């Protein structure tokens, strides 16, 4: 029998709802992005994000139901991102999910945001196990080992800035637009690796650190300007991106080796980065690794991925009651 | 007609059920910063207590501000979803008017909510609920000056307001909701009434 999950995601600056069938088929998805608003401020302003979520919540729901041609009584469960994320933003999606679960007497399934990003990969083709997942976005940089469905072991993560956050900050220093990822990625495709930047946290752990690299970019630009030189933005973007990709790919390949895994998935907003994709494609081909990315539309935050993860959580009997808490930070388990 | 009244705009929340102008359930509780965790369960126990289900409610009265930004968003999100999904009537209420709707009052009532740094959310109402100064984010001293022309003034607040003697409110929910029949025509566009821009927006305004 088919299982339909209505899912809600509001952990940052996207108000999104989806209906997903059997954890893999996108019946309908609505994503209302606030990116253009936050671009005026050079980054997501939490209070503005919360305000916009409450304004769009029923609009997104109506559009979803119209698109899907379904009514909520046909849904098996409501899945919702409870964390991690911006607390004020999470609370809107969470309150909406609880209210729907309550009035339609449906089970409420809590989903961790990172689990969602990983399960975005179940929407194209079925995930194969065991696998290593590299989750890279504006809020997250994590390496996760999965032995089977819905079993998560975090083996490493960032000690400071998330990789996407480092892109945004470097973009700001170089007077580039927000979000920084796509802009730097484009510049990097035309520049040469001219600048001497460090490879951050180049050790044998599976952890990452990007604040030092970011500071190195800031200092380098500052020093050049003191000497009366202009930095070449294309080349600096290239040097920065090369270091980022080098360390991400190195630690990911190390993780695959150590855990003796040959399935890799890359998820999160930064998985749309062309430089990262080219490098990982090449390395995975050389090492016979089965590599998967989400479709571009499932790379950034969306509820479809929460519905995909929510299906497996639902099948495992994971349930929350009406007292489910929003968590700004929480572990993936 | 059965109505659900909900105020989640401050540290104390109020849930009430009203049947034909009579309160059949009322709870004023402390949320201890856990409003989101408890509010659905509290609404559920209110309804169970009155042997009702959410489907039995005809109209929702919801306080949409001013007050705790997070608090009003939680209450309004609940109300918008219920009103949209179950096609219920929704009426939005002012927290300041609610504070001003007290029994046996003086002529002039000035409800206040502390907004920090010398500011308050405040307004001026007369004892019949007429709004003499609209709800606003205002410097307390300025509001105080505006009240000087009235003889018989009482300041009402749920919290202590510096430099001012206030009384605690005792809400008259029936009197408040009887004044309000403005059912919102479009649930989608309902928003909280913050009365204040975000700091980021204020900074941006200054720059431009």
Q: Considering chain A, what is the average pLDDT of its residues? A: 96
Is A333 part of any domain?
A: no
In chain A, residues with a C-beta closer than 8 Å to the C-beta of B194 are 51
Buried b / exposed e over A35-66, threshold 16 CB at 10 Å, is: eeebeeebbbbbbbbbbbbbbbbbbbbbbbbe
Q: Tell me the three state secondary structure of residue B158.
A: coil
Backbone dihedral angles phi then psi of residue B207, each to the nearest 5 degrees: -65, -35
Q: Where are the beta strands (DSSP E) in A57-164?
A: 77-83, 108-112, 131-136, 141-146, 153-157
Is A324 part of any domain?
A: no
Residue pLDDT, tens place only, A295-304: 999 999 999 9
User: Rounded mean pLDDT of A294-321?
Assistant: 96
Is A328 part of any domain?
A: no
In chain A, residues with a C-beta closer than 8 Å to the C-beta of B192 are 51, 54
Are A111 and A133 in the same domain? no
Answer whether B194 sits within 8 Å of A61, measured CB to CB: no
Is A321 part of any domain?
A: no
Backbone dihedral angles phi then psi of residue B123, each to the nearest 5 degrees: -165, 175
Is A331 part of any domain?
A: no
- Which of B84, B189, B194 lies closest to A62 in CB terms? B84
pLDDT band of B163, cuts 50, 70, 90: confident
In chain A, residues with a C-beta closer than 8 Å to the C-beta of B15 are none
Touching B: A residues 95-124, CB under 8 Å? 95-96, 98-100, 102-104
According to the model, what pLDDT value does residue A333 have? 75
- Whether residue B1 contacts residue B61, with contact meaning beta carbons closer than 8 Å, is answered with no
Residue pLDDT, tens place only, B55-112: 999 999 999 999 999 999 999 999 999 999 999 999 999 999 999 998 777 889 999 9
Are A16 and A65 in the same domain? yes
**List of domains in chain B:** 2-95+171-199 (3.30.420.40), 101-157 (3.30.420.200)
User: Rounded mean pLDDT of B110-128?
Assistant: 95
According to the model, what pLDDT value does residue B207 have? 82
pLDDT band of B32, cuts 50, 70, 90: confident
Lowest pLDDT segment from A59-68, A75-84, A171-180: A171-180
Are A41 and A174 in the same domain? no
According to the model, what pLDDT value does residue B135 have? 98
Are A92 and A146 in the same domain? no
Taking the C-alpha atoms of residue B126 and residue B110, their distance in angstroms, rounded to an integer, is 9
Answer whether B188 sits within 8 Å of A59, measured CB to CB: yes
Are A148 and A100 in the same domain? no
Q: Taking CA atoms, what residue in A is nearest to B82? A: A99
Q: State chain A's maximal CA–CA distance in angstroms.
A: 70
Asked, as a colleague might, if the bond just before A130 is cis with ω within 30 of 0, I would say yes
**How many other C-beta atoms lie within 10 A of the C-beta of residue A226?**
8
Six-digit token pair at A292? 């998967």
In chain B, residues with a C-beta closer than 8 Å to the C-beta of A321 are 41
- Whether residue A30 contacts residue A67, with contact meaning beta carbons closer than 8 Å, is answered with yes
Six-digit token pair at B78? 């609940």
Residue pLDDT, tens place only, A75-105: 999 999 999 999 999 999 999 999 999 999 9
User: Does the pLDDT of residue A70 top 80, yes or no?
Assistant: yes
Share of chain A above pLDDT 90, in %: 95
**Chain B interface includes A55 (CB < 8 A):** yes
Answer whether A54 sits within 8 Å of B187, measured CB to CB: no
Counting Cα atoms < 13 Å in the Cβ hemisphere of A35 gives 10
Q: Which helix (H) or strand (E) holds B155?
A: strand B153-157
Are A170 and A107 in the same domain? no
Taking the C-alpha atoms of residue B72 and residue B195, their distance in angstroms, rounded to an integer, is 12
pTM for the model: 0.95
Residue pLDDT, tens place only, B123-158: 999 999 999 999 999 999 999 999 999 999 999 999
CATH assignment of the domain containing A13: 3.30.420.40
Are A198 and A284 in the same domain? yes
Provide the domain count of chain A: 2
In chain B, residues with a C-beta closer than 8 Å to the C-beta of A40 are 204
- Domain that includes residue A156, residue range: 128-292
User: Rounded mean pLDDT of A272-297?
Assistant: 96
Residue pLDDT, tens place only, A139-153: 899 999 999 999 999
Is A245 part of any domain?
A: yes
ipTM of the predicted assembly exceeds 0.90: yes
Residue pLDDT, tens place only, B189-201: 999 999 999 999 9
Mutation choice for A interface testing from B84, B191, B202 by most A CBs within 10 A? B84
User: Does the pLDDT of residue A42 top 90, yes or no?
Assistant: no
pLDDT band of A125, cuts 50, 70, 90: confident
Taking the C-alpha atoms of residue B116 and residue B161, their distance in angstroms, rounded to an integer, is 10
User: Does the pLDDT of residue B208 top 90, yes or no?
Assistant: no
Are A153 and A63 in the same domain? no
Asked, as a colleague might, if the bond just before A58 is cis with ω within 30 of 0, I would say no
């Amino acid at each position: 029998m088919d299982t339909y999950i209505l899912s809600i995601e509001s952990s940052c600056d996207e108000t999104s709802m989806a209906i997903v069938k059997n954890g893999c088929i996108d019946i309908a998805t609505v994503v209302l992005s606030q990116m253009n608003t936050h671009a005026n401020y050079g980054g997501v302003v939490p209070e503005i994000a919360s305000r916009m979520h409450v304004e769009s919540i029923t609009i997104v729901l109506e559009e979803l139901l119209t698109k899907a041609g379904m009514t909520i009584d046909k849904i098996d469960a409501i899945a919702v991102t409870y964390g991690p994320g911006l607390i004020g933003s999470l609370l809107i999606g969470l309150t909406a999910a609880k209210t729907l679960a309550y009035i339609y007497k449906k089970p409420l399934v809590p989903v961790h945001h990172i689990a969602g990003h990983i399960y975005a990969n179940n929407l194209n083709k079925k995930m194969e196990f065991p696998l290593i997942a590299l989750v890279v976005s504006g809020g997250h940089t994590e390496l996760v080992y999965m032995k089977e469905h819905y079993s998560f072991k975090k083996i490493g993560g960032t000690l400071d800035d998330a990789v996407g956050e480092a892109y945004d900050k470097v973009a700001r220093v170089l007077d580039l637009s927000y979000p920084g990822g796509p802009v730097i990625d484009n510049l990097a495709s035309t520049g040469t690796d001219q600048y001497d930047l460090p490879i951050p946290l180049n050790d044998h752990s599976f952890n990452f650190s990007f604040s030092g690299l970011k500071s190195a970019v800031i200092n380098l630009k500052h020093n050049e300007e003191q000497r009366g030189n202009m930095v070449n933005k294309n080349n600096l973007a290239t040097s920065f991106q090369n270091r980022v990709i080098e360390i991400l790919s190195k630690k990911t390949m190390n993780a695959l080796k150590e855990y003796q895994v040959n399935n890799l998935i890359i998820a999160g907003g930064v998985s749309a980065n062309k430089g990262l994709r080219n490098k990982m494609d090449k390395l995975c081909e050389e090492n016979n690794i089965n590599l998967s990315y989400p479709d571009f539309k499932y790379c950034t935050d969306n509820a479809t991925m929460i519905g995909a993860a929510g299906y497996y959580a639902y099948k495992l009997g994971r349930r929350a009651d009406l007292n489910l808490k929003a968590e700004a930070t929480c572990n993936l388990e | 007609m059965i109505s659900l009244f909900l105020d989640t705009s401050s540290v104390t929340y109020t849930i009430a059920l009203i049947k034909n102008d009579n309160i059949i359930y009322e709870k004023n509780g402390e949320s201890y910063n856990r409003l989101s965790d408890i509010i659905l369960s509290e609404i559920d126990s209110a309804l169970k207590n009155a042997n009702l289900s959410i489907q039995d409610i005809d109209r929702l009265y919801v306080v949409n501000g001013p007050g705790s930004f997070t608090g009003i968003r939680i209450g309004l999100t609940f109300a918008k979803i219920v009103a949209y999904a179950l096609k219920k009537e929704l009426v939005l209420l002012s927290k300041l008017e609610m504070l001003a709707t007290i029994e046996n009052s003086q002529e002039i009532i000035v409800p206040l909510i502390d907004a920090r740094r010398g500011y308050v959310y405040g307004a001026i109402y007369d004892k019949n609920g007429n709004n003499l100064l609209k709800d606003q984010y205002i410097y307390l001293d300025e509001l105080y000056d505006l009240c000087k022309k009235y003889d018989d003034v009482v300041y009402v607040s749920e919290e202590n307001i510096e430099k001012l003697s206030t009384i605690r409110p005792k809400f008259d929910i029936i009197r408040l909701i009887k004044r309000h029949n403005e059912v919102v025509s479009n649930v989608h566009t309902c928003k909280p009434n913050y009365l204040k821009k975000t700091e980021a927006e204020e900074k941006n305004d200054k720059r431009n």
